[in-house]
Chains A and B, each alone.
Chain A
Amino acid sequence: MASFRTFKQLLRLCLEPRKRLFLVTLVAVLGFNFLELAIPKLLQLFVDSIAGNHLAVFGIDIDSLNTATGRMLVLPFVLLGFAALRWTFTYIRSVLQTRLGQGALFDLRGRIFNTMQNLSFAYHDSSHSGTLISNVVEDVNYASMFFQFGIFPLLESAAYAAVVYGAMIWICPSAAIASLALLSLSLVVMVLFFRYGQGFFSRTKELFAEAVQLFTENIEGHLVVRAFGCRIPQRQQYRRQVWALQSSTIKERALSSVVSQAFVCSMTFGIPAVLGAALMAARQGRWTYTPGSLFFLFYLQSSLVFRSRMFTRGLELLMRFLITGERLDKLFSARDYLDDSGTLSFPDKGPEKVKVEDVSFAYGNRISSLKNVSLELNAGETIGFVGSTGSGKTTLALLLCRFYDPTSGRILIDGRDMREYSLNEIRDQSSLVFQQTFLFSASVRDNIAYGKPDAAFEEIVNAATLAQAHEFTMEMPDGYDTMIGEKGVNLSGGQRQRISIARAILRRPRFLILDASTSAVDPLTEKAIQSGLRALGRSTTKIIIAHRFSSIADADKAYVLHEGRIVEAGSPEELETPGTMFSKILRTQEDGCTDQ
């Protein structure tokens, strides 16, 4: 089974770094289980001593200790001593187990986190972030459950069963055979369950995810539902979904109860079976009956009932973890990373020239977003890219920052292929302001300083001022310390854009790329931001992607993109002459306002 292989890999991944701890824990678990047996064994001695049989503890012939009073003086202390020893062992064992499990979890969480944040854009494009997040959260939860409550109960109850059966075989083989025969029945059920039962678990999971999605959408879109008067149909849909989910949950639980019941049943019926087998053996002279030893056998078998509950609970968690494991395996084995073997870094004064040579690019197996694009940028220039949605402007910008590698063609920086430079160098020297602004749940200050956490406060204020974010920040209750995002104040689209511009220019990048990043800003503020950008001087090459003419009026040169190709190039003034594609794009807009 594929999932078992993944499981083994995951387990190795988690346990390899702490092999010694694992071995010590195993020893502790086994030792603890022997002690578990010592207590009923001592109780057996008690029982037999009371029943008047001959017995000896640690070589002390208790009978010789003269009368019942003498016996009763020694045994209680031995018993309590063992109980204290067991107490200590339990404690040590639990602490070791937890260290092991939590250590493995710590690694796993860190690894998941790091994998996620390092995977390339291509990976994140193909997976929806909402699903990705909920999967990861779920995976981490199931992994926690497994490492906290699953793996050790499984190991421990298995170890306990081994010790118990060992003891039983030693004391009375026929009783052991009776019990083992019943146990094997439940093992068959377990194997069948693992082979055929997994579907139910994943089905419930899917239904749950669907129900949550339906719920979330109806809450987020509650106004739309209301506005269309669709509350009743939505309600019916949700009810059907929940009903399906809970029915599937019932099935899942019922199914897993078959396994746990198989174990509990076989162990419960094992009680009369063991007793019967022992008595038969006694009659045939294969076993010496004492009340204490019968009690001991009974005790062993009935403790197995409890252990089998523990075992099956572990099994259930294992089952869930297996499903998770497959997903984690997929995540860990994803190879969507950019090649980061380049070592070159930029010269101190920054690169002189960037040359895009015959570059084409396609997302996944979709049609090309860029087709044979070639252009040249000189350091310090301001370049504009215009074109309608889907013309390839954003793609070009992403390639220039090397968030993707071109499908064909290459980008040269000072004559060397971009891939020869270290990825960190390129990232550190370029700042991209994304079309869709994303701010973190942190203060304004931390958001602006995101790319340069050690920036001085003056620098932050300065960047905010250039991006026209200073004024409104100061109006907020705590100024730069105001929290934004989920738990903070609500910012308008324009304000968010301005903060993200400030975040980008704080780093004084060699390349600054603004992707429609003033779309929600009013024209006056936009002008102010433009003069702020000018203040960055010629040390920063600026690339501006925009819909509006006003946004690129400042550019030294502008390129018009259409369906993935550059169709025109020139200064904004040149391009504005009638008849050009550029002017057509700009004209339509004004026509829309004037001709009607």
Chain B
Amino acid sequence: MYRPVSKNTTSETEEMKEGASRPLSLKLVLRILGTLGRYIWLVFLANVFLFICIRADMLIIREIRKLLDRDDLMTAGIFTLIGPIVLLAAVNRLFGWSQWMITIFASNRAIARLRVRFFERLQDLSKSFHDRHKAGWLVARNTGDIRIIEDFMTFALMIFMVFLAAVGCATVEIARISGVLLLPCILIVPIVLAITITYKHHISIAQRAAREQHSRLVANMTEAVRGVRVVHAFSRQEHNLEEFNTLNLMHHDTEIRVARLNSLFIPSMDFLGILNTTIVIVFGSWLVSRNATEGMFAVKLSTGDLVAYMLYMNVIIFPVRLMVELYSMAMRAMAAAERVFEVIDMEPEVQDPPSSDLPDTVHGRMVMENVGFRYAEDKAWILRNFSLEVPAGRTIALVGETGAGKTTVSSLLARFYDVQEGRILLDGVELKSIPQDLLHHQMGIVLQEGFLFSGTVLDNLRFRSPDMAREEVVRVAKDLGTHDAIMSLSDGYETLILEGGSSISEGQRQIVSITRALIANPKILVLDEPTSSLDVHTEHTIQNAIEKLIANRTTIVIAHRLSTVRHADRIVVIDDGAIIEDGDHDSLMKQNGRYYDLVVRSEESGILQEESGE
């Protein structure tokens, strides 16, 4: 019980990975692109546009080159001189802007699809998956990781294409002026590469540290707010501020280290650009001064050529700086995509059959036949050779200590897990051959911690059928005796539930969740009774409601209250995954066994169980 459950260890290691990054993987990039679906052609279009846009940029430089070499610069009509440039500027902007709009549109549509797919997969994944992964971790995937992927799609791909197109076009243009001019570039490229690789190594370490520190900072802040009442009660403010500021300062220092690395790198690239230009100018002038007429150095450079060369060099150097930014963005996106796709690729353990064998009228007889179950292959069996029959319309109470396997039994009956041995039948039909939604429509399941959704109480009550009339809901609540309790909430049925149901008390939450189960009017009821002690009035309301709820319904109740047990047709005492006592209240009391002990122990509180640990 105190073993740090596997979910904790996995989520912790995965959390550490959050700051990490992965090497670029073509497979993942393709997978990310795959999320575009039919929008992929838009991305193609965007890239064509981008190419045209950059090409227009290059042509502007070519126009400048022509302009400078013109002999009639002072006499030709102004419009003949700058007309082409105006035109090219228009082309550049038209395609540039369109490309951006298309990219925004396509990547957002793709992200919408990814978000929905992620959500759907999480819905379909069985309880076993959710046992292992905390909600907070999954939410972080949804908010953080998918955002990173979105940025990657919107910006990174574009930067990459800009880089390719600009460097490619500019190189071609330089070669067109004179192939010899590319020689100095070849000298510079290895230096650029060496600096970039060293920088990338250092910066990714620092950036990773910064991200990790940032999450720690946020976690620290989150706890301080969530536990603010305890903070006040123990007047820990000063101590906490100190702690926070230690983290705060660490993060501050790391960010400065990152910035320092950046401030070394980016100007270095600029410097190399100037160095290169200088070399070319010297080299070019030398070429010109040689006045050679033969051989590969027989080059005649005009003023326009030289200017154009310098401008093209600028075009090449600038994207190199962006490439580094791109790289760190891509690495983060790889890690994020890996985590998201890992979830999307998971197969739910509990699978729906292609068709249903369940007849239209369900009576509600449930049978467990020699059921064996364990949570994982390497875990101990929770249930083994477990058989139980619940006749239609009858109530069976499961009683036993924490960890005896009661909750497992109810989870299996609701098919939150599949059994590994034996089978479970509803009206003679095996659960595995009934689609989950169909099964659950026959079933009311009241969980111990009645989870409520934000919205009004009324919305929660008619969760399954949102179109149900308010009067109908009220009628059911009156039948159940919970109407008064609901009306006593601050706004009655219209009371707003805030996230997670924290705006109403635990007892009230249970009243709402029990009423919600009855409004769905199920044939079969699986009920995990609340354990904690509530005030007498609430307690009473809940007990009465439960009694009404279980009448004339096949009910499997994990009972914690003496009164509930007494209303059951049969009581099954479970210990260590096996049934040890079976019968009604009176006969079990006579046996003077485990049940008798439990009842005696609970005389005072009316609550049957030691502690809830599950």
Contacts and interface: CB of A to CB of B under 8 A. Distances in A.
Contacts of B286: 72
B25 interface: no
Interface stretch (A3-11, A15-23, A156-164, A262-270): A262-270
B275 interface: yes
A293 B240 CA distance: 62
B537 A389 contact: yes
Contact of B447 (A211, A223, A238): A223
Interface string B21-46: 00000000000000000000000000
Given A250-B105, A269-B86, A95 B263 contact: yes
A589 B270 CA distance: 82
Contacts of B535: 387-389, 547
Interface string B1-38: 01111001001100100000000000000000000000
B464 A589 contact: no
Contacts of A121: 228-229, 232
B3 A140 contact: no
B90 to A, nearest CB: 8
B225 A129 contact: yes
A451 B274 contact: no
A222 B122 contact: yes
Contacts of A199: none
Nearest to A93: B263
A191 interface: no
Contacts of A87: 267-268, 270-271
A469 B447 CA distance: 28
6 contacts: A119-B228, A124-B225, A212-B142, A229-B441, A235-B116, A235-B120
A318 B267 CA distance: 26
Contacts of B543: 592
A38 to B, nearest CB: 11
B171 interface: no
A548 B266 CA distance: 70
Contacts of A588: 536-537, 540
Interface string A493-526: 1110000000100010000000000011111100
Given A219-B122, A482-B2, A487-B15, A438 B217 contact: no
Given A128-B498, A219-B138, 4 more contacts: A279-B78, A432-B233, A483-B4, A521-B611
A479 to B, nearest CB: 10
Contact of A261 (B12, B93, B451): B93
A554 to B, nearest CB: 14
B306 A47 contact: yes
B230 interface: yes
A215 B499 CA distance: 11
Contacts of B5: 489-490
Contacts of B540: 588, 592
A487 B85 contact: no
A379 interface: no
A422 B264 CA distance: 53
Given A268-B92, A403-B232, A246 B221 contact: no
B234 A451 contact: yes
B173 to A, nearest CB: 15
Contacts of B197: none
Given A84-B271, A589-B539, A592-B543, A221 B244 contact: no
B127 A223 contact: yes
A217 B139 CA distance: 10
Contacts of B267: 86-87, 90-91
B255 interface: yes
Interface stretch (B373-381, B423-431, B570-578, B599-607): B599-607
B189 interface: no
Interface in B387-442: 402, 414, 416, 436-441
Interface string A420-433: 00001001100110
Contacts of B60: 271
Contacts of B601: 522-524
Given A94-B262, A451-B236, A550-B604, A477 B3 contact: yes
3 closest Cβ pairs, A-B complex? A94-B263, A451-B234, A98-B259
A227 interface: yes
A131 B500 CA distance: 12
A239 B109 CA distance: 12
Interface in A432-447: 432, 434, 438, 440-441
A239 B113 CA distance: 9
Interface string B337-357: 000000000000000000000
A28 B501 CA distance: 54
A397 to B, nearest CB: 11
Interface stretch (B174-182, B200-208, B276-284, B469-477): B276-284
Contacts of A229: 436-441, 464
A399 interface: no
A453 interface: yes
A242 B612 contact: no
Given A103-B252, A272-B89, A230 B464 contact: yes
B466 interface: yes
A47 B303 contact: yes
A29 to B, nearest CB: 13
Interface in A347-406: 366, 387-389, 401, 403
Interface stretch (A58-66, A109-117, A531-539): A109-117
A291 B307 contact: yes
A264 B93 contact: yes
B610 interface: yes
B82 interface: yes
B185 interface: no
Contacts of B453: 217, 221, 224
B456 interface: no
Given A246-B109, A271-B85, A440 B123 contact: no
Nearest to A40: B310
B245 interface: yes
B236 A275 contact: no
Given A140-B218, A495-B611, A548-B533, A39 B274 contact: yes
Interface string A471-490: 01001110000110011111
A127 to B, nearest CB: 10
A579 interface: no
B591 interface: no
Contacts of A227: 414, 440, 443-445, 447
A283 B499 contact: no
Given A246-B111, A279-B81, A438 B97 contact: no
Interface in A117-168: 117-119, 121, 124, 128-133, 136-137, 140, 148
B463 interface: yes
Contact of B536 (A84, A136, A283, A388): A388
B531 A520 contact: yes
B333 interface: no
B292 to A, nearest CB: 15
B344 to A, nearest CB: 15
Nearest to B230: A438
A590 B82 CA distance: 98
B256 interface: yes
Interface stretch (B129-137, B363-371, B548-556): B129-137
Given A246-B111, A250-B108, A50 B285 contact: yes
A223 B416 contact: yes
A458 interface: no
A198 interface: no
A205 interface: no
A105 B300 CA distance: 56
B78 A280 contact: yes
B104 interface: yes
A226 B440 contact: yes
B59 interface: no
A520 B73 CA distance: 92
A531 B115 CA distance: 55
A279 B224 CA distance: 66
B454 A213 contact: yes
